[in-house]
Structure 1
Amino acid sequence: MGFGMRRHAVELALKVDPSLARGLARECDDPAEARRLWLMIARNAASNCGGAADGGDDGRDVVARVVAVLKDCGPGVMSIEDVLPFLPDFAQIDQFKDEICDALASYSSKIEGYLREMTECDRTCDALRDELGRLSAVGTRIRPDARCAYTGAEVRRSNEPFYAFPSGYVVLESALRREVVPYLNERQARRVEAVEGEIARMRKLRSGPGRNPYETAKDDFDVENLQTELDGLIAAECPLTGSVMVQSIDRGFSDDDDDE
């Protein structure tokens, strides 16, 4: 039964038998829809349109009926603040003090939970700061004759940047890009192309005539930030010991189609 049909059924039931309306509301599985239905029932109870035609209800009776609906809906559906607008202005707090105490206890429990989460977040942030501080002091040494793990070329004699990983492998940038980009998701791959294009454009702009020292310094800063982003995309981990190696396990040892 859709919400529109169920709501119409509850409205009709409230005119005949409020207990039938409550039964229909209990059958609702959607928490948001159930809350709206029970609010209808509570509003009806407060306005005395639910069939209790005694005509002599005072504020205390209104509070009693609304509190009865609040208890009948079950935990987690409505709270005391949801039905406060339906109560008369002259209602005394002792008429629903138990519900207020329950709400305050619930708020206290939630606050304690949030405090625990904040404490855990603080600990995580402290651990990350310590790890970043440790990594900033970590260096990697490479041999003078170090060679690219993929091409075998000596990296120090190459005219392109290279990456040295903690695993001990050294990889030229072009070879690293060729190996890693196929395993990036579509958004990351597009971003690699965009960053590389922007770096090339900025370097060309920097070498152009008419650039003052301020503009040159800004170009260098922008290129450095872009290069850092590119490093994070293609050199986040060693391609020979990280997830790229795991994902490439089904690849053959050779790109040749024939087995020679």
Structure 2
Amino acid sequence: MGLYEEAVTFALDVPDNSFELAKSVVRSHKLKEPMANEENKRLWLLVARYVVKDSHDDMERALNIIKDSNCLSIEDILPHLSDFTNIGPFKPGIKSSLEKYSNNIKKLQEHMKTFTNTAEEIRKDTDLLKQRSMVVVSNKKCNLSQQPVLGTQFLLFPCQHVFRLDAAMQKTVSHYNINESKMNFNELLEIASKECPLCGQIMLEEVMKPFINPGDPKEIELARSWRIDDEFLGQDDYKMP
């Protein structure tokens, strides 16, 4: 039923060393049903609060609950200690936590340095792309329509594929089944110029498309026109269904 907190709370209300019963409840629930780390930590924290409150000056029991839980740390326990608690027994744990935080800070600083360097490299690459130029010869033809691109609007991609704008937009509209009446020219242009139709996602998706559209009667008729009659096949040849 997932009533973990209620079960632990009831176990803590049982007199005579009830935190041991609560610990067993948490363990048994974790074995029966997988729990998220945060949920598991919250249940152990319920037990830890009781142990800290019940133990008073016996901090050894509080340290044991940290070891038993495998998810709590000294900093989870400290806020629940009284103001006059002797934290001497916690010194090794506090020191270990501080060292852990120090190591984490160093790792974060290294990650930040890496991200900063990466961002700088991306900025440099972007600046280089802005200054990049390509040459289109006078007899260059569209890689889709095979029509000359000079004298009309065209798209030139870094892969050196070039397309007449009308052909690229028609390809985009056809592939994505776009309703042109619901989009303006600039929106279609943005989609068409996003990536090369012969190198990008469109080409990858079209690899999985059949050559013949089973829903198009004209294409079905065209496919049938290429069928080889059985009379032209030998007895040992494969016969088409």
Q: Who is 1:18 aligned against?
A: 19
Q: What is the letter of the counterpart of residue 97 of structure 1?
A: K
* 1:45 is aligned to 2:51: yes
For these two proteins, the number of residue pairs brought into alignment is 210
How high is the sequence identity, in percent, across the aligned residues? 27
Please report the RMSD computed on the Cα atoms of aligned residues, expressed in angstroms: 3.0
CA distance in 1, matches of 2:90, 2:81: 11
Alignment partners' CA distance in 1, 2:91 and 2:170: 69
Q: Describe how 1:162-173 pairs up with structure 2 within 5 A.
A: 162-173=154-165
SS of alignment partner, residue 132 of structure 1: helix
Do the aligned partners of residues 167 and 73 (structure 1) sit closer, same or farther apart at CA in structure 2, a change above 3 Å counting? closer
The correspondence of residues 69-218 of structure 1 with structure 2, limited to 5 A, is 69-74=65-70, 77-158=71-152, 161-183=153-175, 197=184, 199=186
| Distance in 1 between residues matched to 2:50 and 2:93, nearest whole Å | 20
Alignment correspondent of 2:194 = 236
Contact kept, 8 Å, 1:163 with 1:171, in 2: the verdict is: yes
Q: The residue matched to 2:85 in structure 1 has which SS?
A: coil
SS in structure 1 at match of 2:106:
helix
- Per-residue CA deviation, residues 13-71 of structure 1 (Å, 9 max, x unaligned), is 221432121122224242222222111111211222xxxxxxxx7x422x333222222
Counterpart residue number, 1:220: none
Deviation per residue, 1:143-167 (Å, 9 max, x gap): 2233322223332333xx2112233
CA distance in 1, matches of 2:199, 2:5: 59
Q: Determine the C-alpha separation between the residues in 2 that align with 1:44 and 1:135.
A: 63
Question: Deviation digits for residues 79-116 of structure 1, max 9, x if unmatched?
Answer: 22222222111112312111111211221222122122
* Equivalent position SS for 1:163: strand
| Whole-angstrom distance in 2 between the partners of 1:60 and 1:120 | 47
- 1:60 is the counterpart of 2:66: no
Offset at residue 251 of structure 1 (A) = 4.6
- Distance change (3 Å), C-alpha of 1:38 and 1:182: farther
The alpha carbon displacement at 1:253 in A equals 8.5
Query: So what's the TM-score if we normalise by structure 1?
Result: 0.68
Does the CA-based 8 Å contact 1:70-1:80 persist in structure 2? yes
Q: Is the 8 A contact 1:26 1:73 kept in 2?
A: no
Closer, same or farther: CA 241–70 of 1 in aligned 2, 3 Å: closer
Query: What CA distance in whole angstroms lies between the structure 1 residues aligned with 2:118 and 2:174?
Result: 33
Contact 1:60–1:95 (Cα < 8 Å) also in 2: no
> The residue matched to 1:171 in structure 2 has which SS?
strand
Name stretches of at least 5 consecutive residues in structure 2 with no aligned partner. 226-241
Measure, in 1, the Cα distance between the counterparts of 2:193 and 2:53: 67
Please tell me the residue identity of whatever aligns with 1:197: N
Q: How far, CA to CA, are the matches of 1:64 and 1:193 in structure 2?
A: 74
TM-score by length of 2: 0.73
**Secondary structure, counterpart of 2:114 in structure 1:** helix
Q: 1:7 to 1:243 in 2, by over 3 A?
A: closer
Residue 171 of structure 1 aligns with an amino acid whose one-letter code is F
